């Protein structure tokens, strides 16, 4: 009877310790997400590294799922795309104005030179990149799911609790059979 009592106490202690370890894992993930959000607000290049580290941590620790959105990165990418689209629209207006200003030239070579001179005088000196597509918010949203069980401290403690409880049940069944056989 004392061995069975020790097993049930051990299972309880291991289960409580395992749940505490899961709680610590969750706290660590929450701290990492807060750190990522702070880096995102400041446009820190470490944000991508932190997200990669968080993905690795979640994959290796049970009970550590996380959901978050890099809202500030999305807003910056969106503003950049809108600025590029506005610049492209302005350039298109300059091309249209060049065509209108040089349309009176009857000679195609003279008209081409007129267009080139007009564009050189009115377009920005730096080359414009092609306008980028608007970013998608889903690309900045992360849904990280932890596995059901991992071999970290919490997983080992909970596995120990299950094994101790299983051994408790197994020994109870064995001793019950012995009593019936006698």
* pLDDT tens, position by position, 18-51: 999 999 999 999 999 999 999 999 999 999 999 9
Per-residue pLDDT band for 91 (boundaries 50, 70, 90) equals confident
Per-residue pLDDT band for 88 (boundaries 50, 70, 90) equals confident
- Residues 36, 37, 40, 44: what is their CA dihedral angle, to the nearest 10 degrees? -40
The pLDDT, as a whole number, for residue 145 is: 95
Average pLDDT over residues 121-130: 65
* % residues pLDDT > 90 (the chain): 55
Confirm if 81 and 133 have CB atoms less than 8 A apart: yes
- Alpha carbons 144 and 67: distance in angstroms, whole number: 6
3-7, 101-105, 120-124, 178-182, range with the lowest pLDDT: 178-182
> What pTM value is reported for the model?
0.71
């Amino acid at each position: 009877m004392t061995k069975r009592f020790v097993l049930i106490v051990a299972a309880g202690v291991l289960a409580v310790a395992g749940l505490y370890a899961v709680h610590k894992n969750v706290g660590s993930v929450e701290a990492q997400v807060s750190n990522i959000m702070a880096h995102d607000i400041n446009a820190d290049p470490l944000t991508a590294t932190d997200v990669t580290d968080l993905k690795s941590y979640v994959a290796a620790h049970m009970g550590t799922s996380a959901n978050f959105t890099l809202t500030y990165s999305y807003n910056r990418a969106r503003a950049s795309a809108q600025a590029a689209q506005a610049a492209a629209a302005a350039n298109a207006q300059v091309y249209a104005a060049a065509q209108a200003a040089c349309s009176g030239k009857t000679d195609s070579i003279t008209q081409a030179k007129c267009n080139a001179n007009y564009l050189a005088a009115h377009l920005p000196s730096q080359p414009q990149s092609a306008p980028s597509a608007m970013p998608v918010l889903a690309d900045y949203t992360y849904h990280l799911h932890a596995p059901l069980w991992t071999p970290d401290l919490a997983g080992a403690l909970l596995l120990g609790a299950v094994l101790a409880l299983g051994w408790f049940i197994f020994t109870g069944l064995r001793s019950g059979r012995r009593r019936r056989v006698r």
